[in-house]
Amino acid sequence: MHSISREVQVDSAKAVVAAYSIANNAFFLVSATASVDGWIQILDQKIQGIWLLGLPSTNPEVSQPNAWKIGMELKSGRIITFELYDTKTERGTVFLVRTLVNDTEAKPIDDFKKLKENGVCVTGRCMNPNVMLKDTILKMRDAGLFSYQLVNGRGHRYWVRLALDALEPFIPEPRRVKHFNVGADETMRQCWLEGGGTTGAYGFEDEPDHILHILPGEYHIPN
């Protein structure tokens, strides 16, 4: 699988990411637990579960919406996150894939512990048997989700819903239970707090408490 490496701004620092021929506009963060060649092996690993991870609100006093990531739990127990990441540079928004835990000495259970520790809201489902990480990447690629740009920092939750819609065929849905993408959409329409509670109101000024209008971003090909 052909790959190229480039630098992007991640977490306020320059970082190396790899892009592969199967998904040129997906950026895989190179780290101690995932080298350029290592990602090729990770892509062939099977997934056992999918998670929606809500991060703390930057301003819960005004019900500022949480940031959201999608987590893919591999059969090994490692968790790989998908996120729409704003580099805050001319490159704009990129689809970023990274390992949740970057400690080479970590045990498989450490990924799940970090998932629960970092998230103010965590919900998940099992995946169909024999689905590999690269299958989910290709499904999202085909849905056009790698060329999406936030608009003034907004559109993230809209993108997550589109991503879960695309991944729905991989998620077995129990009878009489809301489909994961529908439940996730309702979950993201709240501002979650530490401890699992909510503010009881919804984010931005143009999103009144009784109706949350999740605004879309826009599509373009990243630089």
pLDDT of residue 218: 55
pLDDT for residue 197: 85
For residue range 79-131, list pLDDT tens digits in order: 999 999 988 877 788 999 999 998 888 898 899 999 999 899 999 999 999 99
Q: Is the pTM of this model over 0.85?
A: yes
Ranges of residues in the chain with a pLDDT under 70 are 1, 201-223
pLDDT in the model for residue 207 = 52
| Three state DSSP letters for the chain | CCEEEEEEEECCEEEEEEEECCEEEEEEECECCECHHHHHHHHCCEEEEEEEEECCCCCHHHCCCCCEEEEEEECCCCEEEEEEEECCCCCCEEEEEEECCCCCCCCHHHHHHHHHHHCCEEEEEECCCCCEHHHHHHHHHHCCCCCEECECCECHHHHHHHHHHHHHHHCCCCCCCCCHHHHHHHHCCCCECCCCCECCCCCCCCCCCCCCCCCCCEECCCC
pLDDT at 201: 63
